[in-house]
Amino acid sequence: MTVTLSDIKEAAQRIKPYAHRTPVLTNESLNQQVGARVFMKCENFQKVGAFKFRGASNAVWSLTDEEAARGVVTHSSGNHAQALALAAKMRGIPAYIVMPSNAPQVKKNAVAGYGGQITFCEPTLEARESTMERIRLDTRATVVHPYDNERVIAGQGTAALELVKDIPSLDVIIAPVGGGGLLSGTSIAATETKKGIRVIAAEPEKADDAFRSLQAGEIIPSINPKTVADGLLTSLGTLTFPIIQKRVEQIVTVSEAGIIEAMKFVWERAKIIIEPSAATVIAVLWEKKIDLSGLEVGVILSGGNVDLEKLPWQK
């Protein structure tokens, strides 16, 4: 079973009443700087400040009433937890969120603010999964994995569907890759609606497991990566990997300095707040490791959740 363009189109209809149709912005300074025409799909303006709300909403609103009544469950310390909590709240059903005890207070508050029922556990993958399984057995809630889930992938693909519709002349789309949910959905939506469009992924050099996985032909897990792009720490999944193998032209790795410079440039010139994970797609253009000069390049700015007290360019 995989995800089709129909799944993405159905997801778009399903989430339409709940998710924002985010704008596509351009910036002349950025175009001049990178030598291409850049179209920024602003998922930083999405509900909860990230594309994750698309996949979470699609998963929540795909449930039957009976399934929905039992709620949804996931383990996450990031944007997916907030997105699932809000989507569940909108449907009026419980969201059980397993978070590591060492998650930042601001993220705990955000999930609680959206009505998520948090269970804390030890900060290990094993503890997170066993805690989630216990809750699932207790509540019979539906597990919504942050990326290795068809409905989530279909939901994430709706951003690229909108982008290609708004800018039909695009030559290339660049999306960041962590677990691969956004990249999978993007690659299906783009290549199935526009023949010949190139799909490229952006990944931090310091968390280059997806790059190495494509080279090796098998999933290489991400082990304790350290990068400013804290939304891109996870490994590819069994659903996302083959989609990416099939549809993504290449994964371009970017340096920490490139991510931070590109992020600051977008803040300064385009006047929008993007998080480091989103800046990776700009960094691909910024660092010019591949030649995209003169092309029309759509980029998915994945989110804008940043701690404003502590910016990466400040000492």
Q: Which residues bind a second copy (CB under 8 A)?
A: 23, 25, 28, 42, 44-45, 47, 49, 264, 267-268, 270-274, 304, 308-309, 311, 313-314
Question: 41 — phi, psi (to 5°)?
Answer: -85, 115
Nearer Cβ to a second copy (94/303): 303
Among the listed residues 212, 211, 146, the one whose alpha carbon sits nearest the alpha carbon of residue 181: 146
Provide, rounded to whole angstroms, the least separation between the CB of residue 308 and a second copy: 6
Number of alpha carbons in the 13 Å side-chain half-sphere of residue 192? 20
Provide, rounded to whole angstroms, the least separation between the CB of residue 243 and a second copy: 29
Provide, rounded to whole angstroms, the least separation between the CB of residue 138 and a second copy: 33
- Rounded to 10 deg, the angle between the 150-166 and 181-193 helix axes is 50
Among the listed residues 219, 199, 200, the one whose alpha carbon sits nearest the alpha carbon of residue 210: 219
Provide, rounded to whole angstroms, the least separation between the CB of residue 115 and a second copy: 14
Nearer Cβ to a second copy (18/241): 18
Provide, rounded to whole angstroms, the least separation between the CB of residue 271 and a second copy: 4
d(CA 243, CA 79): 23
Q: What is the 3-state secondary structure (H, E, C) of 119-178?
A: EEECCCHHHHHHHHHHHHHHHCCEECCCCCCHHHHHHHHHHHHHHHHHCCCCCEEEEECC
Which position has the token pair 């996870």? 234
d(CA 264, CA 276): 9
Among the listed residues 270, 9, 56, 273, the one whose alpha carbon sits nearest the alpha carbon of residue 162: 9
Nearer Cβ to a second copy (103/273): 273
- Rounded to 10 deg, the angle between the 5-15 and 52-62 helix axes is 90
Among the listed residues 149, 190, 118, 136, the one whose alpha carbon sits nearest the alpha carbon of residue 56: 149
Nearer Cβ to a second copy (49/71): 49
Provide, rounded to whole angstroms, the least separation between the CB of residue 44 and a second copy: 5
Provide, rounded to whole angstroms, the least separation between the CB of residue 90 and a second copy: 12
Provide, rounded to whole angstroms, the least separation between the CB of residue 8 and a second copy: 25
Nearer Cβ to a second copy (242/312): 312
Nearer Cβ to a second copy (46/76): 46
Nearer Cβ to a second copy (13/29): 29
Nearer Cβ to a second copy (194/264): 264
